Copies of this chain bind each other. A is one copy, B any other.
Amino acid sequence: MAGDSQRPGEFELIARYFAPIAGPGGLGLRDDAGLLRPARGYELVVTTDALVAGVHFLPDDPPASIARKALAVNLSDLAAKGAKPDGFVLTLVLPKDWTPDWLADFAGGLAQEAQAGGCPLIGGDTVSTSGPLTLSITAFGSVPAGRMVRRSGAKSGDLVLVSGTIGDGALGLKVHAPGRPDWVAGLGEAARAHLTERYLHPRPRLVLAEALQLHASAAMDVSDGLVGDLAKLLSASGVGAEIDLDTVPLSDAARAAIMADPALAELAWTGGDDYEILCTASEREYPALAAAAERAGLGLAPIGRVTSQEGTVRYLEAGRARLFAQGSFTHF
């Protein structure tokens, strides 16, 4: 198990690359554990998301991008739950051919995302594998006790809302991955760059967390596709919904792609990797949520309404019903 002498051992690796990202609760990453203490009256929201090379990102993606995405998808969960980030732990499962350069770049991306999200590293583990690079992050955030925004609070009559734009991530993967389909060539360079950026670097909507905690009846982040994730939220809440697909917010780049190949609309709605907020709110609470989104420079589009018909989601496109064969992408 002795490592290549050109490369640092685990102890040195932690000190060199990860200790600089550690917050006070990480104790310099020199102990066996980190510490968290929620403020009085608050509780901790705990979320875990793992990423595997070749499944959740491409093995040759820039290491900094892989690190940023691994943390961002966890911060996205905290945001959807209305929580303010407190820290995270990282399990890094490294293939045997890692290099110090690769790791330095990875740690740089991780530091950038940790800083942007106000979420320091407090611990973790590093192990080696004969398989693909795998990352597991568990992130912690605070909410006033009892105020975590659940999936299960949607009420009949609530508005269904979605932040930012939908479909960019799934389209971005097509642009970014080898074997580009024909429509990619027809897009302008700016559109291609936009979609790729959205796939590689999800932006956790932490700016909405407090407003969600105060005003949303239910929320989750969109990671496995809008259609599939909405089904999960409605199912947890024991309700249904009527959704007007024409109101689902799209970026200019996604619009251009769908114009070139109308079949891509389905990919946008079901493909995943959006990391936007899907939430519900009553008519009364909606203006406060919308105002918070506007202050953050972020769209929060009403796309439909919750109904009492449990298990039934009616999708309308240009006024006509639309059915989805497969609800959601599964990474599993």
Contact = CB atoms under 8 A, between A and B. Distances in A.
A32 interface: yes
Interface residues of A, number: 67
B151 A31 contact: yes
Given A30-B152, A38-B38, A132-B130, A49 B125 contact: yes
Given A32-B77, A40-B40, A152-B31, A129 B52 contact: yes
A89 B46 contact: yes
B127 A32 contact: no
Given A89-B48, A123-B48, A331 B1 contact: yes
B150 A81 contact: no
Interface of A: 1-3, 9-10, 13, 25, 27, 30-38, 40, 43-52, 54-56, 77-78, 80-81, 83, 89-91, 93, 122-132, 134, 136, 138, 140, 145, 148, 150-152, 220-221, 236, 329-332
14 contacts: A2-B330, A33-B46, A33-B77, A35-B45, A44-B44, A47-B123, A48-B91, A50-B93, A55-B127, A91-B91, A91-B136, A128-B332, A129-B134, A131-B131
